Structure 1
Amino acid sequence: MTRVKQTLTLLAGAGLASMALTGAAFAQEEPFTQTPEETAFIFNTLLFLLGGILVMWMAAGFAMLEAGMVRTKNVAMQCTKNISLFAIAGIMYYLVGYNLMYAGVDGGWIGSLSLWSPDDSAALAEAGATFGNGGGYAASSDWFFQMVFVATAASIVSGTLAERIKLWPFLIFTVVLTGFIYPIQGAWQWGGGWLSEMGFSDFAGSTIVHSVGGWAALVGAIILGARHGKYGANGEINPMPGSSMPLATLGTFILWLGWFGFNGASQLALGTGADAVAVSNIFANTTMAAAGGVVAAMVLTQLLYTKVDLTMALNGALAGLVSITAEPLTPGIGWSLIIGGLGGALVVVAVPLLDKLKIDDVVGAIPVHLLAGIWGTMAVPITNSGTSFAVQAIGVASIGAFVIVASLAFWLALRFTIGLRCSEEDEVLGLDKAEIGLEAYPEFGTGSKAY
């Protein structure tokens, strides 16, 4: 026992001596220091990366929402479209989109037609471009954050035109939308173009992202036509319920979560205490706008139809989120509830209006993204005194006109060349079998049944 005590005493002494020597060595070295600029750089980059991850996760939300809102025989097709459009959006934004949107716009209409590279992006940041501030950020983090926004616009189109558009024409249009249409109009504001010079404001993209997808979807839906059997000869409207309301609900919650990255990271900086407060306020306003949209849609459907409609409640949440996206920082909680609530009410009013016009929007994306996007953009001056209703209207109208004309040209080109729409036989069979040869739920044996 005495020997054990002696051994432990020797070990303890050796340990203390080692610590003393180590401390002396450290005392001779320079203490670790980090400049405020470097700290800001790290936090800004982290904001871009985490925000981009959340926005990328929205792709899963769109996929689940659409999978739940279409009929069983078209679920695999929607999943295929959503993963492929995301991949195409990333490739096109690398090839032409990013520089078309940000490189050398300088108050004009368009950037440069060239490949993106980290060196080009860093040069833009050093030149004081309109995105990012504080202590700068990693160039690739900015590209990643901007890229994941692009796929959102294409996802809007996917849901509206579901169940009757062929796969490859849709994907070709996605190439055009993500590589050219979206970046060109985005350059007008976020790239420091002519709308930015006028004072147009769209914080995270109610118009630049959401209404762009909505306009492209609206034009496509008109050209494509409604699903067979949706509208009767005598004006009747035949409901075509989706395959899974639990999936649609899951998709909505995923989108709601992803929106914190969509709006919060659009602050573009987390290098100061003021930025941290701003991001926190944006989170709070974003979620309360969605809450307002849900409640407004539920109350209105109860009053108009005597029953609450789950699909309206889901789209009410999304409309509230789209509505607050143009300005999620300056409103308080109260105004966020009002702005989001009015967005949710728009959905309830607009869905039957589209049916009266025989415009078949499978998931309700046109009211959610187009109409709520316009409303949210026009509502900016209510809480942001640095903007005006006139300039906001110019931005909404000019972007809308450009997207309508460009989309119309490409939709018509596709229609008269390779064709847009599947045959009636394929539509009845379901695009899972007809287009991709794989059913999402093969055990149900849809076969010739129009489930």
Structure 2
Amino acid sequence: MDSTSLASTEYALNTLYILLSGAFVMWMAAGFAMLEAGLVRSKNTTEILTKNIVLFALACIAYLIVGYNLMYGAGGSDSFADDADFFFQSVFVATAMSIVSGAVAERMKLLAFFIFAVVLSAVIYPYQGSWSWGGGFLAEAGFVDFAGSGIVHMAGAAAALAGVLLLGPRLGKYKNGKPTAIPGANMPLAALGTLILWFGWFGFNGGSQLAIHDIDNANAVARVFVNTNTAAAAGAVGALLMTVFIWRKADLTMIVNGVLAGLVAITAQPLTPDPIHAAVFGFIAGLLVVISIITLDRLRIDDPVGALSVHGVVGLYGLMLVPFTDSNATWSTQLLGAGSIFGWTFITSLAIWYLLKVTIGIRVSEEQEYLGGDISECGIEAYPEFTGSTKR
């Protein structure tokens, strides 16, 4: 095979791999939708599903029109098609916005959420992404975030935190200053969503290698897959043991968040650890996420799905793990990157949320919150035969 034919074959293989990986990540949208639908109350199921479908659509369009060029410029890789790269990156920005969806669930106006989704996808996310993946000052400083523990997950959590602080907790969440459990409506959906996310994460992390055309890249992708799976499994075990230790019960909601915590933790650098390191990192993430969820709840920060802990606290943890196995990273540059990403995303998001709050409002009325988003915002109940609120 001559050099031209070989280059064409490598280009085609890499392009196909990136496209398939992007399709895997797109499937994570279904995972977030099912997870959140399972962890909210039945009266908010249609509304949370509507948010997840529309946010994905808005994120892709906003990133197409503004965000991608802001983050990467004109592109121009010789190793794969530019359109493949755009598709892969667009599903990442949708993932960041999906994190916000769960944290502000059950009390935010749909219109305000959709407007924020456009701003985050067009400007807030891509601007900070340009500092690292786009070759900006964080990349020059040596900041390492292989697949986005900070760039995607912690950024999404920072945007969510800003919204949660301005929204306040759900009605009835805190009584006499103490948190009250508000159980989700559908644990099978929550479990299904978690498994879909686990599956999609192979594209999220594996696809970030951006090549599979030779032996070195193929081996790298295989190691990324193994470490991603191992960290998720260990995260589930860590969360299980922590819940049994605290409550003497196997809490499924904490276990699914343990899986996600393991995935987020390994995302910053899934290539350089060996599988034993990945297991240790994921196991600690599973312990950490349970402690974080409990702590935030006691601080009266109401997060119905645990997104702030999974993607924010564990996202930071994942960034700080990188220097243990990657000699190209230092703790100082990792802290610089984490601080820059969080600071920019939180401050700009807080400003946008506040502007929305004083103009169109970001929270539904008490009556609408009591009725639920399905009726008040969508007019369609997810489970009409059970709730019966539309029966005459």
Q: Does 1:283 align with 2:225?
A: yes
What's the offset of the Cα at 1:249? 0.2
Q: Does 1:41 align with 2:14?
A: no
Report if the CA contact (8 A) 2:178-2:298 is conserved.
Answer: no
Q: Does 1:125 align with 2:95?
A: no
Q: Does 1:57 align with 2:27?
A: yes
CA deviations 1:70-121 (Å, max 9, x no partner) are: 0000000000000000000100011000000011xxxxxxxxxxxxxxxx43
Which of 64, 68, 73 is matched with 2:43 structurally?
73
The residue identity in structure 1 corresponding to 2:361 is G
Identify the residue that residue 98 of structure 1 maps to in structure 2.
Answer: 68
Q: Does 1:216 align with 2:159?
A: yes
Identify the residue that residue 169 of structure 1 maps to in structure 2.
Answer: 112
Q: Write the distance in 1 (CA, Å) between the matches of 2:110 and 2:288.
A: 31
Correspondence 1:37-436 to 2 at 5 A: 37-103=7-73, 120-121=74-75, 124-126=76-78, 136-232=79-175, 234-436=176-378
Q: Write the distance in 1 (CA, Å) between the matches of 2:29 and 2:274.
A: 29
Q: Write the distance in 2 (CA, Å) between the matches of 1:250 and 1:445.
A: 23
The residue identity in structure 2 corresponding to 1:378 is M
Q: Secondary structure at the match of 1:318?
A: helix
The residue identity in structure 1 corresponding to 2:36 is E
Q: Write the distance in 2 (CA, Å) between the matches of 1:159 and 1:307.
A: 24
- CA-atom RMSD, angstroms? 1.4
Q: Write the distance in 2 (CA, Å) between the matches of 1:411 and 1:429.
A: 24
Please list every run of 5 or more consecutive structure 1 residues that lacks an aligned counterpart in the other structure.
Answer: 1-30, 104-119, 127-135
TM-score, with length taken from structure 2: 0.98
Which of 363, 387, 390 is matched with 1:445 structurally?
387
Number of residue pairs aligned between Structure 1 and Structure 2: 391
Report if the CA contact (8 A) 1:73-1:446 is conserved.
Answer: no
What's the offset of the Cα at 1:33? 9.6
Identity %: 54
The verdict on how the C-alpha distance between 1:253 and 1:158 changes in structure 2, with shifts beyond 3 A counting, is same
The residue identity in structure 1 corresponding to 2:77 is A
Q: Write the distance in 2 (CA, Å) between the matches of 1:214 and 1:42.
A: 36
User: Larger Rg: 1 or 2?
Assistant: 1
What's the offset of the Cα at 1:38? 1.1
Query: After TM superposition, which residue ranges in structure 1, 4 or more long, deviate above 4 angstroms?
Result: 31-34
The verdict on how the C-alpha distance between 1:33 and 1:356 changes in structure 2, with shifts beyond 3 A counting, is closer
The verdict on how the C-alpha distance between 1:446 and 1:420 changes in structure 2, with shifts beyond 3 A counting, is farther
Please list every run of 5 or more consecutive structure 2 residues that lacks an aligned counterpart in the other structure.
Answer: none
